[in-house]
Structure 1
Amino acid sequence: MGLSRRNSNRGGSDVVWPGFVDAMTALLMVLMFVLTIVLVVQSVLRDTITSQDKQLDSLTAQVAGLADALGLETARADALQAEVGRLGLDLAAAQALGVQQEGQIATLAGLVATREGELASATARITDFEAQVAGLLAERDAAQTRLTELAAARAADQTAMAALREKLQGADAELTAMTLALEAQRQKAEDTLTLLAAAETKAAQDAEILSGKEALLATARAALATETERSAESARQVALLNQQIAALRSQLGELQGMLDAAAAKDVAAKVQLEALGSQLNSALAQVASEQRRRADLEAAEAERLRAEAQDLAKFRSEFFGELSKVLAGRQGVRIVGDRFVFSSEVLFNPGSADLAPEGRAQIAGVVATLNEIAAQIPPGIDWIIRVDGHTDNVPLSGQGEFADNWELSQARALAVVRYMQDNLGFSPERLAATGFGEYQPVAVGDAPETRALNRRIELKLTER
C-alpha cells in the first residue's frame, strides 16, 4: 500500500515537470521575439530619420541655389542702376554741348527711360523673389522643427526600448534563477521519495522496527508537504511572470502605436518636403525664364534701335541730298554737319521775326523735298523737323518788340514753324521750335562777319 502511494506521487511529478519546462521555453522564445521586434523597429526609425536629414540637406541646397539666383538678379539691378546713373551723366554732358549733340541726347534719353523701366521691373522681381525665399526659409525652418521633434521622439523611443530591454534581461535572469531553484526542489523531492520508498521497504521487511519507520515516514511526509508548498510558490511566481509578460506586451503595443504615429509624421514631412522642392524648382525655372526673356527683350530693343537709327540715317541722307540739290548755289544757305543753316538776313529783315519773301521761297522748297521723303519713312520711326533760332551777341535795347535775344530767336523759329504748318500744310506733330538766343554760337568774336554767321536758322531732321 505504501509502495503504491509512492509510485503515484512520482508519476505526478514526472507529468508536471516537462509541462513546466515547456512553458518556460515558450516564455523565453516570446521574450526573444519581443526583443527582436524592438530592435527591428528601432533600426527602421533610425533609417527614416536619416532619410529625412538627407531630404532636409537637399532642401537647404535648393534654397542656397535660389539665394544665389536672387544675388545675381540683385547684382543685375545694381548694374542697371549704375548704367542709369552713367547714362544720366552722359545726358547732362550731352545737354551741355547743345545743338551738336541733340541726336545723342535723344538716344540717351530713350536709353535712360528704357533702363529705368528695366530697373523698376527688376526691382519688382527681386521683391517677389525675396518674398518667395522668405516663405521657403520659413517652411524649411518648420521642417527642421518637425525633424527635431521626430528626433526627440526617437530619443524617447530609444530610452523606452532600453528600459524594456533591461526589464527583459532582468526577467530572463529571474526566470533562469527560478528554473534552477525548481530543479533543485525537484531533486530534493525525488530524494525524499527515494528515502520514503526505502523506509517503506524497510518497514515491510522488518515489522519489529515499524514504529521507528513510521516516524521516519511522517518526517518524509512533512518534507514532501514542504516541497509541495514550495512548488505552489513557484507556480505563483510563474503566474507573476505571466503578468509581467502581459505588461511587456502592452508596452510593446504602445511603442508600436508611437512608431505608427512617427511614420505618419514622416509621411506628412515627406509630402511637405516634396511640395517645397516643387516650389523651389518652379521659382528657379521662373528666374531662368525671366533672365532669358529679359535678354531677348534687350536684344530685340537693341536691334530695333539699330534698325531705326539706320533707317533714319538713310532718310536723313536722302533728305539732305535732295535739299542740297534744291538749295545749291543759293546765297545765305550752308550745310553744317547734319543741319541746314539759313542766314537770318536771307529769311528775316533785321530785328524782325516776319519771314521775307525770299525766306518763304526757300522754306517752301525745303518742305516740298521733305514731303517727298516723309512718304517713304516707316511709321515706326518717330521723326521731327526741329527749327532752331540763333542770334548774335549784340544785346537788344528792350524798347522794341522783343525784350532780348531769347525772345527774338524763339519768335523767328516759331515763325518758320507756323509758316510750314499754316501756309504749307506740314503736320504740326512733326515740328518743333527752339530758341537758343546768343548762347550757341558757331563762331567766336565781335567782327561783323562772325556775328553774321551766328545770326541763323537751323533745320534738322532728327528723332523726337
Structure 2
Amino acid sequence: MALARTRRRERGVDYWPGFVDALSTLLLAIMFLLSVFVLAQFLLSREITGKDEVLTRLNSQINELTQLLALERSNTQDAEDQLANLQASLQAAETERSRLEQLLSQGAGADAAAEEEIGTLSGALDEERQISQRALSQVELLNQQIAALRKQIGALEGALEVSEARDRESSTKIADLGRRLNVALAQRVQELNRYRSDFFGRLREILSDRENIRIVGDRFVFQSEVLFPSGSEVINDAGRTEMAKLAEAIIDLQKEIPPEINWVLRVDGHTDNVPLSGTGRYRDNWELSSARATSVVKYLISQGVPASRLVAAGFGEFQPLVEGDTLDARNKNRRIELKLTER
C-alpha cells in the first residue's frame, strides 16, 4: 500500500515551472540577440552612410579629374595643332628661303647676262648706225632714180593717152564689126531657114504619100516602122526607098546652099519607153537609137551624101514627142528625126 502511494506521488510531479523558466530564459536570449542585431544594424548603417559620403566625394573628385583630363587633352590637341601650324610655317619659310636663294643666284646670273646683252646691243647699235648711214646714201640714190622714173612715167602717160585714143577707135570699129557680124549671121540664119523650108518642101512633095512621115516644127519625122523592123537597126526595103529619095533631095539642096554656110543634117534616133531585155544585140534603148541613127547616116553616105554634112545622135526614150504609156504614144515616139542646122 505504501509502495502504491509512493508511485502515485511520483506520477503527480509538476513540470510547468521548469518550462516557464526555460521559456523565460529563451525569451531573454532572443531579446538580447535582437538588441545586439539592432545595435549592429545601427552601427552598420552609420558605417554604410559614411562610406556613401566617401564614395560621393570620390565620384566628385573623379568627375573633377575627368574634366581636368579632358581640358588637358584639349590643351594638348591645341598645342599639337599649333605645333603642326608652326611646322608648316617653318616648311613654307624654308621653301621661300630656297626660292629666294635661287632667285638671288639667278639674279646674279641675269646681271651677267644683262651686261653681256648690253654689250651685244651696243655692237648691234653701232652696226645699225652704219647701216643707217648706208641707207641714207641709198635713199639719195633712190631719189635720183625716182626722178628719172617720173620722167619716164610722164612719157609713158603720153603714149598711154595715144594708145587709149587708138583703143577707142578700135572699140568703135569692133562694135561696128560686131553689128555687121550679127547682121551677117542673121542673114545666114534666114538663108538657112529658107533652104530648110525649101528642103522640107521638097521632102514633103517627095514623101507626101506616106502617113508615117510628117513635119514637126523644124524637124522631119520618120516613124521607125517605116525604116526598121522591130528591135533592129537594119533598114528595110521600104526604108531604103524613102532614104534614097531623101539622099537625092539632100544632094540637090547642097548644090543650092552657098559654100560659106556651114550646114549639117542631123539625124536623131528615138525609141519608146519599153526597156529592152538586155539579152539581144543591144543592152538598152540608148544603143538601139544610136545604131538606127548611124544606119541612116551610113545609108545616105552610100547614096552620095557627103559625110561632112551628116551627124548621127541617139536619144533613147528620153525625148518623147508624146507623154504616156499608151500604144499610140509609143508608136509616135519610135522615130527618126531629120533637122537641117548649122554646124
TM bucket (normalised to shorter chain) is 0.5 to 0.7
Q: Show the 5 A alignment for 1:196-235.
A: none
Alignment deviations for residues 117-143 of structure 1 (CA, whole Å, 9 cap, x no partner):
xxxxxxxxxxxxxxxxxxxxxxxxx89
* Cα separation, 2, equivalents of 1:270 and 1:418: 71
- Do 2:250 and 2:305's aligned partners in 1 also have CA atoms closer than 8 Å? no
RMSD of the TM alignment (CA)?
2.5
Residue 293 of structure 1: how far off its partner (Å): 2.8
Q: 1:285 maps to which residue?
A: 165
Give the match for residue 428 of structure 1: 307
Structure 1 residue 312 corresponds to structure 2 residue 192: yes
Distance in 1 (alpha carbons) for counterparts of 2:198 and 2:329: 31
Where structure 2 has 5 or more consecutive residues not aligned to the other structure, the ranges are 1-142
- 2:208 equivalent among 305, 308, 328: 328
Q: Secondary structure at the match of 1:375?
A: helix
* Cα distance in structure 2, aligned partners of 1:449 and 1:438: 15
Aligned partner of 1:379: which letter? P
Deviation (angstroms), 1:459: 0.8
Give the letter aligned to residue 437 of structure 1. Answer: G
Cα deviation code 1:155-187 (max 9, x no counterpart) = xxxxxxxxxxxxxxxxxxxxxxxxxxxxxxxxx
Post-superposition shift, 1:271?
8.4
* 1:401 equivalent in structure 2: 281
Match of 1:446 among 325, 339, 342: 325
Q: 2:271·2:335 contact (CA, 8 Å) conserved in 1?
A: yes
Runs of 4+ in 1 over 2 A off after TM superposition: 142-146, 268-278
Decide which of 290, 296, 311 is 1:410's aligned counterpart: 290
Residue 420 of structure 1 aligns with an amino acid whose one-letter code is L
The AA in structure 2 aligned to 1:380 is E
Pairwise CA distance, 1:276: 4.7
| Candidates 254, 260, 270, aligned match of 1:374 | 254
Report the CA distance shift for 1:144/1:341 in structure 2 as closer, same or farther (over 3 A).
same
- The 5 A counterparts of 1:135-150 are 146=147
Q: Which amino acid aligns with 2:164?
A: L
The change in CA–CA distance for 1:280 and 1:368 in structure 2 (over 3 A counts) is same
TM-score (norm 2): 0.55
Is 1:437 aligned with 2:316?
A: yes
Change beyond 3 A, Cα 1:280–1:343: closer
Residue by residue, what CA displacement relative to the aligned partner does 1:6-65 show, whole Å, maximum 9, x if unpaired?
xxxxxxxxxxxxxxxxxxxxxxxxxxxxxxxxxxxxxxxxxxxxxxxxxxxxxxxxxxxx
After the TM superposition, which of the residue ranges 271-280 and 281-290 deviates more from structure 2?
271-280
Aligned residue number for residue 390 of structure 1: 270
Q: 1:447 to 1:143 in 2, by over 3 A?
A: farther
Residues in 2 aligned to 1:270 and 1:437: alpha-carbon distance in whole angstroms: 69
1:145 deviates by: 6.2
Cα distance, 1:286 vs structure 2:
2.3
- Name the structure with the higher helix share: 1
Identity %: 47
- Structure 2 residue matching 1:282: 3-state secondary structure: helix
Residue pairs, 1:16-415, within 5 angstroms = 146=147, 275-276=155-156, 278-415=158-295
TM-score (norm 1): 0.41
Whole-Å Cα distance in 1 between the matches of residues 195 and 178 of structure 2? 25
State the distance in 2 between where 1:300 and 1:433 align: 33
Question: 2:97 is matched with which residue?
Answer: none
Deviations 1:178-210 (A, max 9, x none): xxxxxxxxxxxxxxxxxxxxxxxxxxxxxxxxx
Which structure would you say has the larger Rg?
A: 2
The answer on 1:456 being equivalent to 2:341 is no
**What is the SS of the residue equivalent to 2:256?**
coil
Change (3 A) 1:143 1:362: farther
Map Cα deviations across residues 329-384 of structure 1 (whole Å, 9 max, x no partner): 21311110111111111100111110011111111111111211111111111111
Q: Which position in structure 2 is the counterpart of 1:187?
A: none
Q: Taking structure 1 as reference, are residues 346 and 269 closer, same or farther at Cα in structure 2, changes over 3 Å only?
A: closer
| Number of positions where the alignment pairs a residue of Structure 1 with one of Structure 2 | 202
When residues 143 and 376 of structure 1 are mapped into structure 2, their CA distance, relative to the original with a 3 A threshold, is farther
> Whole-Å Cα distance in 2 between the matches of residues 386 and 324 of structure 1?
18
What amino acid maps onto 1:327 in structure 2? L
SS of the equivalent of 1:460 reads strand
3-state SS of paired residue (2:234): coil
Deviations 1:208-234 (A, max 9, x none): xxxxxxxxxxxxxxxxxxxxxxxxxxx
